[in-house]
Amino acid sequence: MQIVSEQKDKNKRVSGRFVAESRGFLGLTRADLIHYFFGGNASLAIFILLLICVFLFKEAAGFLPDHHRGLTKWRQSGQEFVDILNVAVDGHTRLGSSLNISYYAELNSSSKEEQAKLFASRAVLQRVKAALRGPSGRLRKLAAELEEVREDLADTEQDLAGGVLEPAKRALSEAELSGHRAMIAAIEARIVVIEARVVEGMEEALAGQEVWEGQQLEGADRQAVSEMVRGEFDGQVGTHPWVAELEQTVRTRKAERIPQLAGFKNASGNFRDAIKPMKTFIAPLREAASELKRQAIAAESAPKRKAALLAGAEATEDPEERARKLAQAEAVVVEEPDYDAGAEKYYSAVADFEASVAVLRTEIEAAVRALPEATELTDPSGRQNLARFRAGLPDYFDSLERAVARAKAWRHDKPYSWSRSFFAFLVGKDWITNSSWHDFYGLLPLFTGSLLISLIALVVSVPFALGAAIYVNQVASAREQNLIKPAIEFIQAIPSVVLGFFGIMVLGTLLRDVSQLPWLAWVPGFPLQERLNIINAGLLLAFMAVPTIFTLCEDALNNVPRAYTSGALALGATRMQTILRIIVPTALSGIIAAILLGFGRIIGETMVVLLVAGGKIQIPDFSKGIGVVGEAAHTMTGIIAQETGEVDRGSLHWRALFMVGLVLFSISLAVNWGAQIVLRRFQRHGT
Amino acid sequence: MANHQQETGNPFAAPPRQEDRRASRERVLTLAFRLLTYAILACALSIFLGVVMRGAPVIFQAEAPFINTDFFTRLPETLVVYEDDQGEVRKLSATRFEEMRSANPGRRFSIVDSYSYSGGGILGPLVGTALLIAICMAISLSVGIASAIYLSEYSSKGRFMSTVRLAILNLAGVPSIVFGLFGLGLFCLAAPNLVPVDQIADRSLFSVPIPLTGAAVSFEGWGACMLAGGCTLAIMILPVIITAAEESLRAVPQGFREASLALGATRWQTIRKSVLPYAFPGMLTASILGITRVAGETAPIMFTAAVAHKDKLPWIGQDPDSSWAGRFLDFFFQSVQALPYHIYTVAAKIPQSEYNKDMQYGSVFVFMALVFFFAALSIWLRARIRRRLHW
């Protein structure tokens, strides 16, 4: 009331100005101008959205034609053909590594414990040495200095012993002599001090927990290792008996095992050798394809180079220089290489390829027959890898069949279809840049990485955010609400780069250490191999998404008409029944919209995934099941942040990155759109 | 069961034996929700404490002036790890190391290792971030508040209005890295710039010479600079500012406007005298909220403004002979260091060791403290407004 009366006073004072306004600028009144000014500002939002589209499209525009041209060259030059043939080698390498792991796991299985102990003892020694790096280095330097001074001393002594020096010189030398001796004494004193410091530091390190962390050394073993470390620092020659004994055991056990596994070793060696003819068969083809591709690229840029040389010739005054440049310009080859002649080589190679595949197959089959059955092995890792090898073998043979079929069907002059080059981007399995062979721009590894991380983040964050929203909105006292709501706003304020930093410094190490606990070994994917991986990024993003989902969920719960709650309570429902059966179902579409918007926020997040996801551009290995979360990955946002600053403007790579941006932009629009639709249903329901 | 219901007339009521079980279920569920809530807070607290425990010792010290002044008054520089003649391994920033070396000519120091950007202080990044925020807020507040006034005061339901609202909603969901790409494409590579005719860059989309001046308006962009970064951030934050400002405008009771209009005031007079003054505190909160968001963003400024290395503050080293306008432009058309980008650099782009932990945690601590200060300010202001202005 007070404010309104004040307003009245003010209006009275200025009432004289409230007269009809004259038509001013372009026949518009001042009020119109003000109106349009504000309207213009508001329409800026639309304008900006359009601008984003325009500029993303502008930079990405050339991508599809350029990409198509690149892929056409890939086909014409025969690189595609070589890649088809290479399937045989790649698959063989994969299988071979399983077989190799299996063999060595089996070989080492009888002395596993001893080897682990030896490994642990070496790790501890390394850690102690690292902790004492400063004083040890200083000791080495002092020893060198001591050596030098001693040599000087010896020289001086020799001079004196020679006895032919003049008295003056003699006095000088004697002074020098005593100077050297004093220096030696000083250095030796320092050495003693620093040696004491080293010993002290070593004892301290051994007494502490840090150097033992993560190493399975207890009781007597720990004492033995401590002794060994001490011996190492005392400069004892020879290995410590504890170590020697372990090494001896390992040697004898291995020696016992080798004859038993001779068949296995032989077979796996045969398997490895089987691919050699194939490799030598492909190598010349690969070279030819590379050469053709190089010529093709040179021909592409030739007109530009020629024009530049001609322009340079125009500009030069010197006739000799001009003649030279003109000659150079003449020499530039503009014609494309003769693909047809090059392709003949590939066509004639098809039959040989088929023959070598047949040979390869029989050799592999022979080798595999000599392999032991997986059940005959004793080591779990050995069994697992051999089983994986055997399971992968039929797939490999299939892929060989397909490769032969594809090689037969391959034609260098068949035009590369536009839809195919588009899908080569959208669902291509490789993102390989700066390679000497061919650059592939396939979105799939990045997209899978983004999606996997986002899904983990959602799965983790939704229960927490929703639970907290229900708690704050329905259960918590006013005082609790006043604590929790601002706290969650604070979480929203934590910058993403800080969270990423936290992920590198703390969470990564924590996760890895936890995953190495023996009683957690049953969890799929444990122990984690790397610190920076999908689960680390997913957890941090979950934390980031909590405030967004929480706030929107709380709004949705708040919008449930009070009558519903009162009605349920009046009928005698308990608090939880009301919440779980009345309030949450009513607010469900709002909650779904909140989750969708949270997803949009997560998939667009950059810094955390750039810092923490591990940066490995590869489709995660889903054959591990849930264990896939332990792998490193790369994301769409991360690749843009990482590579945009480093590539040439306007290059294919640059355009590819803008295409990725465009995909992200479309995803965000789609997610928003979905949330709008869901919310609209909610409004109808709520009122 | 049926009998029981008839007796009490309560369809949800359970027979007495089930009553206990139901009550305990109730308690368990409540506890579960409470646990979920406090688990979130515990995570936040552990991150917060983790940063404070390692960061605070870098910033604060035991003797006067109790704060590590070097950290706030120096630019980032190389950190030198050296060994003195006592065999102690120590570290110093490059300039301090040189000072000490020339002050003690008799002693020998051997350099063990060096780490870029890990020594000195964070004055450069702090100043850069402040400038970016200032530019961003100046642009986004003027545009954002004007848009909000239109949406709240002039709005008539129509196609234009719903399009604007949809655009704002969608803009709010666009990933920050896409804004970065957009800023790179528009401000750094295509925005109009005034350049001498003979220096027009090849990338210029087109250029219009201005007669008699020897200069031309060339659409070649500004390169990576403060202004480009500020504009990118401003566009990114616009939806937040518009939404919040509109909310505070709508919170002003309709009666104020009606009374003013009834007294014969024009619409603009009404807005200026009876609406804006009461919506102002809310807008202030909104702008501070915007600052917290903008300060924390790294992705939009990665290619548009930020650099890892800069050996001077923005206002130093300007050409004293150039005109006032020239110096003004030079100032805004230079790249800057920014705190979040600095953290990214020291955390991910240089080799990690025990020696550069101080710079990392110190920067993160200062950054968190800054952001939390603004967040707390906005929360406190909002609470104050709620107490003081209610109608």
Give B34→chain A minimum CA distance, Å.
6
| Dist CA A258 CA A381 (whole Å) | 18
pLDDT beneath 70, residues of chain A: 1-27, 163-165, 214, 682-687
A668 to chain B nearest CA, in Å? 6
- Minimum distance, in Å, between the CA of residue A474 and any CA atom of chain B: 10
Interchain proximity A197–B238, CB inside 8 Å:
no
* Cα nearest neighbour of B246 on chain A: A42
Q: What is the pLDDT of residue A448?
A: 93
Question: Is the four-CA dihedral A296, A297, A298, A304 of positive or negative sign?
Answer: positive
In the block, residue with structure tokens 């195919």: A420
CB-nearest partner of A134 from B50, B83, B374: B83
Amino acid B13: pLDDT: 62
Q: How confident is the model at residue B9 (pLDDT cuts 50, 70, 90)?
A: low
CA distance A239 to A118: 12
Q: Which residue of A has its CA nearest to B343?
A: A497
Amino acid (1-letter code) at residue B361: Y
Q: For an interface test with B, which of A21, A41, A140 has the most B Cβ atoms less than 10 Å from its Cβ?
A: A41
**How far, in Å, CA of A339 to CA of B137, rounded?**
59
Residue with tokens 């604060």: B60
Contacts of A610 in chain B (CB under 8 A): 344, 348
Structure confidence at residue A26 (pLDDT): 66
| Nearest C-alpha in B relative to A491 | B44
Backbone angles phi, psi at B118, to 5 degrees: -100, 0
**pLDDT the model gives residue B181:** 92
First to last CA, chain A: 32
Kindly state the tokens that stand for A213: 């962390």
Question: What's the confidence (pLDDT) of residue A14?
Answer: 45
**What pTM does this model have?**
0.82
Of residues B233 and B163, more confidence is placed in: B233
**Continuous segment of H or E residues that includes residue A431:** strand A431-432
**Minimum distance, in Å, between the CA of residue A293 and any CA atom of chain B:** 29
Contacts of A670 in chain B (CB under 8 A): none
Q: How many C-beta atoms lie closer than 10 Å to residue B219's C-beta? A: 16
Backbone φ and ψ for B85, nearest 5 degrees, come out as -75, 0
Residues present in chain A in total: 687
Pull the structure tokens for residue A71: 């892929």
- State which amino acid sits at residue A298: A
Q: Which alpha helices (H) appear in A316-417, and where do they start and end?
A: 319-331, 339-369, 380-409
Question: In 3D, which of B119, B139, B143, B120 has the Cα closest to residue B131?
Answer: B139
Cβ contact, residue pair A664, B178, below 8 Å: yes
What are the residues whose beta carbons fall under 8 Å from the beta carbon of B291, sequence distance 6 or more? Answer: B133, B137, B374
Name the A residues in 115-174 with CB < 8 Å from any B CB.
Answer: 133-135, 137-139, 141
**Tokens 């990118």 label which residue?**
B232
User: Strand runs (DSSP E) across chain B, as ranges?
Assistant: 76-83, 89-93, 110-120, 192-196, 207-209, 215-219
C-beta atoms of B89 and A38 within 8 A: no
Residue B93, strand partner residues: B79
Q: Which two tokens stand for residue B349?
A: 């782009």
With contacts defined as CB-CB under 8 Å, which chain B residues touch A59? Answer: 181, 185
- Asked if residue B324 has pLDDT above 60, the reply is yes
* Bridge-based pairing state of the strands A431-432 and B76-83: unpaired
- Quick one: pLDDT band at residue B40, thresholds 50, 70, 90? very high
Ramachandran assignment for A561, one of left (phi > 0), alpha (psi -120 to 50 degrees), beta (any other): beta
Residue B120 pLDDT more than 60?
yes
- Structure-block tokens of residue B91: 């570290």
Work out the minimum CA distance from A228 to partner chain B, whole angstroms.
Answer: 25
Does the beta-carbon distance from A493 to B242 stay under 8 Å?
no
Answer whether B191's CB lies under 8 Å from B289's CB: no
Phi, psi of A211 (to 5 degrees): -70, -20
Task: Check CB contact under 8 Å for B150 and A39.
Answer: yes
The structure tokens 């002092």 sit at A142
Report residue B163 as tokens. 């399009």
Extract the tokens encoding A236: 């004892």
Amino acid at A555: D
How many Å lie between the alpha carbon of B323 and the closest alpha carbon of chain A? Answer: 33
Residues on chain B touching A475 (C-beta within 8 angstroms) = 30, 33-34
How far does the CA of residue B170 sit from the closest CA of chain A (Å)? 6
Amino acid A637: pLDDT: 93
Cβ within 8 Å of B, A 524-543: 543
In chain B, % of residues over pLDDT 70: 94
Output the pLDDT for position A682: 63
Within 13 Å of residue A146, how many CA atoms lie on the same side as its CB? 15
Q: Closest by alpha carbon to A656, among A389, A441, A485, A495? A: A441
- β-partners of residue A440 are A432
CA nearest B296 in A: which residue?
A495
How far apart are the CA of A410 and the nearest CA of chain B, in angstroms?
Answer: 39
User: What span, in angstroms and rounded, lies between the C-alpha atoms of A85 and A403?
Assistant: 6
Q: In whole angstroms, give the CA distance from residue B22 to residue B5.
A: 16
Residues of B in contact with A55 (CB under 8 A): 181-182, 185-186, 190
Query: Which of A55, A134, A465 minimises the CB distance to B186?
Result: A55
Question: A with B: how many residue pairs have Cβ under 8 Å apart?
Answer: 298
Contact B238 A495 (CB under 8 A): no
Selected residue of A17, A580, A665 to mutate for chain B interface (largest B Cβ count, 10 A):
A665
Rounded distance, CA A234 to CA A319, Å? 78
DSSP string across A267-294: HHHHHHHHTHHHHHHHHHHHHHHHHHHH
With contact defined as beta carbons under 8 Å apart, do B338 and B309 qualify?
no
The residues, any chain, with a CB within 8 Å of residue A232's CB and separated by 6 or more, are A125
pLDDT tens profile B202-244: 777 778 888 877 788 888 888 889 999 999 999 999 999 999 8
Dihedral sign computed on CA atoms, order A250, A251, A256, A261 = positive
How far is Cα B176 from Cα B301, in angstroms, rounded to an integer? Answer: 10
pLDDT in tens, B185-205: 899 888 888 877 777 777 777
Tokens (6 digits) for B175? 């990933």
